[in-house]
């Protein structure tokens, strides 16, 4: 099935990367994988992947390398570091599925171009559920012919949208999307805490919001699945949400546009990170608000 693309490299087998890699294996692709956590590499090997010893090793063994990494620095290291994809003998194209912002994407693209390696930025939206089910939205930018070549691979992961040929454009699109997601979750947490403090039942509140004009992905998905049951297990770390909001604010500042709402949302997420920790699930955003209000938003059935 890997056909003309041959083996595909995949670096970063985390909450998003692992289920994406599994989908590609299940679709019949031959996968060469690397992660700094040997145990997750072993799990992928059990499912049919081949283990590599470094990003460079992945890029020695595959023409197309995908990556799903947790920080701008990790993407830089993997792509252009001393043992990075840039050193690979076989690689022709690098597809970064991570959210790194347009500035970093453009810098990485320029470095890779010096070695004749094409880059697509292709950040994704849709969470772990979307990565598992293959229903992600992929926001792709870069050379159109590279996109056309690998679009069938990306289609295994969800719906690819070609945003622009300009490097970084997909990243800008992703930051816009995530600022909306960050705002919806922060605001929904704030209003539900307010309602509970006033005596409303949080489950009734979410049902009403979802039947009304206040519904968002936060009320339809995150509250019923991870906040009302108090499982806080959505699969997206607070530190990653803060990364994305900071990147949005940096890009908005660079463009010189107003971002008062984004700034307020950013302050709330910085509080969540300092009080709950970068590793906490981002649905923990409700906890500092609960503490300040002296309430607990518990939607579990009584008894």
- 158 is a site residue for ligand NAD (CB under 6 A): no
CA distances 152 to 4, 84, 171, 258, 297, Å, are 12, 26, 21, 39, 43
Q: In the complex, what is the shortest distance from the CB of residue 300 to ligand NAD, in angstroms, rounded to a whole number? A: 24
Nearer to ligand NAD, 174 or 195 (CB): 174
| Position among 5, 7, 17, 175 found at the interface with ligand NAD (CB under 6 A) | 17
Query: Whole-angstrom Cα distance, residue 85 to residue 129?
Result: 28
- Binding to ligand NAD (CB under 6 A) within 127-156 occurs at 127-128
For ligand NAD, the closer CB: 127 or 202: 127
Place of tokens 């930025």: 121
Q: Does 70 bind ligand NAD (CB under 6 A)?
A: yes
11 binds ligand NAD (CB under 6 A): yes
* Interface with ligand NAD, residue 68, by CB under 6 A: yes
| Active-site annotation holds for 174 | yes
CA distances in angstroms from 207 to 181, 182, 184, 192, 280, listed in the order given: 19, 21, 16, 12, 26
Residue from 7, 25, 35, 242 touching ligand NAD (CB under 6 A): that is 35
Q: How far apart are CA 88 and CA 115, in angstroms?
A: 10
Q: Which residue has the tokens 């910085």?
A: 270
Q: Does 77 bind ligand NAD (CB under 6 A)?
A: yes
Asked if 235 is part of the footprint of ligand NAD (rule: CB under 6 A), the reply reads yes
Selection from 62, 47, 53 nearest residue 5 by Cα:
62
Q: Looking at residue 302, what DSSP letter applies?
A: P
Residues that are catalytic: 174
Q: Residues interacting with ligand NAD, by CB under 6 A?
A: 11-17, 34-37, 40, 68-70, 74, 77-78, 98-99, 124-125, 127-128, 235-236, 240, 244
């Amino acid at each position: 099935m890997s056909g003309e693309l041959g083996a595909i490299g995949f670096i970063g087998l985390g909450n998003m990367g692992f289920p994406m890699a599994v989908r590609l294996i299940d679709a019949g692709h031959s996968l060469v994988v690397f992660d700094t956590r040997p145990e997750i590499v072993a799990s992928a090997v059990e499912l049919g992947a081949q283990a590599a010893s470094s990003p460079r090793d992945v890029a020695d063994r595959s023409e197309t390398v995908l990556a799903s990494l947790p920080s701008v620095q990790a993407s830089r290291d993997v792509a252009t570091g001393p043992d990075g994809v840039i050193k690979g003998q076989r690689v022709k194209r690098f597809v970064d599925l991570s959210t790194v912002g347009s500035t970093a994407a453009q810098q990485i693209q320029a470095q890779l171009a010096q070695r004749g390696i094409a880059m697509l930025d292709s950040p994704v939206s849709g969470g772990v559920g979307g990565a598992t089910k293959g229903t992600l939205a992929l926001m792709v930018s870069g050379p159109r012919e590279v996109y056309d070549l690998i679009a069938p691979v990306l289609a295994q992961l969800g719906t690819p949208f070609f945003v622009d040929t300009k490097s970084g454009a997909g990243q800008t699109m992703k930051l816009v999307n995530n600022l909306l997601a960050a705002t919806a979750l922060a605001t929904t947490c704030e209003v539900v805490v307010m309602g509970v403090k006033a005596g409303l039942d949080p489950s009734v509140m979410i049902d009403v919001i979802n039947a009304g004009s206040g519904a968002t992905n936060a009320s339809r998905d995150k509250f019923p699945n991870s906040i009302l049951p108090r499982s806080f297990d959505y699969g997206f770390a607070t530190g990653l949400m803060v990364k994305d909001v900071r990147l949005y604010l940096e890009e908005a500042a660079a463009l010189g546009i107003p971002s008062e709402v984004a700034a307020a949302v950013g302050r709330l997420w910085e509080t969540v990170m300092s009080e709950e920790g970068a590793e906490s699930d981002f649905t923990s955003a409700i906890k500092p608000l609960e503490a300040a209000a002296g309430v607990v938003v518990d939607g579990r059935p009584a008894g």
